[in-house]
Amino acid sequence: MTVFLVRPLAAQCRHSFTVATIALLVACSSTAKDPDDEPTKSGKGSLKEPAQISAGIDTVRELAFTETIDAVGSVSARVGHIALLSAPAPTRVTRVFVAVGDRVRKDAEVIEFEQPGFNAALSSAEAVLTLAERTAERAQRLVAAGVSPRKDADIATAELATARMNAINARRTRDLSHLRSPITGAVTRVNTVLGASVDAGQPLIEIADPSVLDVLLQVAPSDADRLLAGTNVQFYNGAGAQSAVVARGRVVDVGATVDSATRGVAVRVSVTSSTRTLRLGESVTGKLVIAVHAKALSVPDAALVPADEAYRVFVVDSAGVAHAHAVKIGGRAAGRVWITEGIEAGDIVVTTGAYGMDDGAKVVNSETAAKKSAAKRAVQTAPLRERSREVRAAVRFARRAKTVCISRGRPAQRGRNMGREQVAVSDLP
């Protein structure tokens, strides 16, 4: 907003002091310089000081450090809570009642096979059983009467036992011609279609209980030696451990062999709680706690600078000069790094701005530089604040005299205002 103070020429002398004051303040603010901005004069032959680099710093501290490892795995059904159903004999599929993902209850029928063959086998076995029972009964009577030897009765008894076994198997096979789910769960796999011919023992349907789950993680052999049963595990979505925790669990078993495909060791983790429903086959990332170190030297992960196949940090001495130190890493967790060798407690290391820094650079704390810059700006803007107070005082006086013309972006009108003094005051705070 632009404010024009319009005064008659007769009043020019009366208000010349105020206008002169405003002009003086503007001139002072434009010509004033900070003593810190003046270049430092040096004598002849003096060397130029190295440029100062503004960077963040932090102190090496001894803190409790929880050593963890990350491993990727998938959700699977727990042993004892998964069922794989197959055909009881060579036959054909006549009906399929479920699809992958369907939830089923215990004893619910999922597949039906051709019935004539199973019914005929059961009828034949029952007929043989009836004949064997009659033969055994007759042999017992003849032996009791002394007509037949005891050997005939024993043979008839053995044949009767065989016939009973065959009848039981035929009845069981006929019952299995209607495949039923042995557990309450969800269908995870279907390997047949309507009308397909199947063999005895051929896997057809897999059913798992989604309420009781495990997670199979793959870890390096060197890390597997440090894991124990009961180790706490936290699970995160996908392949990153930056999102929210979706489940928690405990290590149940650590594999004794190395997988030839992944070159890792399988670790089975029992899920004890979850924040949402986990799906069978879902990929998750597990964070496993290996050890807790009571006093470990740790620095922010921003302090690490890659150097070939190792890492280094820049330690700042009392003169503010940074020196590169090679370090060895013991582990990482929660944005901090455990350093086992290369620095000591109390050392000051460069954090923000360490990457790309040269050995021997002059370091200035970025927080201190920011505070100094803010103080400098406060000193430079002090005359502007004084000018603003003088301008507001002039505007209040002009309004009382009813000679103020306020214009929003419009040039001052001339003509009837000719012969009057116009004073423009811009950007009022």
pLDDT at 208: 92
Q: How far apart are CA 175 and CA 278, in angstroms?
A: 35
| 384, pLDDT greater than 80 | no
What pLDDT is attached to residue 346?
Answer: 86
Give the mean pLDDT of 257-274. Answer: 90
- Residue 85 pLDDT class (50, 70, 90 cuts): very high
pLDDT on residue 280: 85
Q: What pLDDT sits at residue 383? A: 57
Structure tokens at 324: 């590169």
pLDDT reading at 399 higher than 70: no
Q: What is the mean pLDDT of residues 40-60?
A: 62
pLDDT top residue among 47 and 207: 207
Q: Is the pLDDT of residue 72 over 60?
A: yes
93 against 40, higher pLDDT: 93
Quick check: 152 pLDDT over 60? Answer: yes
pTM greater than 0.75 (yes/no): no
Per cent of the chain over pLDDT 70 is: 72
How far apart are alpha carbons 253 and 340 in whole angstroms? 30
Average pLDDT over every residue of 39-53? 52
Least confident of 35-49, 83-97, 236-250: 35-49
Q: For residue 241, what pLDDT is reported?
A: 53
Looking at residue 135, what is its pLDDT? 93
pLDDT band at 420 (very low <50, low <70, confident <90, very high): very low
* pLDDT at residue 376 is higher than 80: no
**Residue 319: pLDDT above 80?**
yes
* Cα–Cα distance, 89 to 113 (Å, whole number): 10
Question: Does residue 57 or residue 128 have the better pLDDT?
Answer: 128
pLDDT of residue 380: 57
Contact 375, 36 (CB under 8 A): no
pLDDT band at 79 (very low <50, low <70, confident <90, very high): confident
If pLDDT is split at 50, 70 and 90, which confidence band does 358 have? confident
Which pLDDT band holds residue 395 (cuts at 50, 70, 90)? low
Percent of the chain whose pLDDT exceeds 90: 33
pLDDT of residue 35: 43
What domains does the chain contain, in order, with CATH numbers?
2-34+368-426 (no CATH), 69-78+212-293 (2.40.30.170), 84-208 (2.40.50.100)
Say if residue 229's pLDDT is above 90. no
Residue 230 has pLDDT above 70, yes or no: yes
Note the pLDDT of residue 408. 39
Kindly tell me if the per-residue pLDDT of 119 is higher than 70.
yes
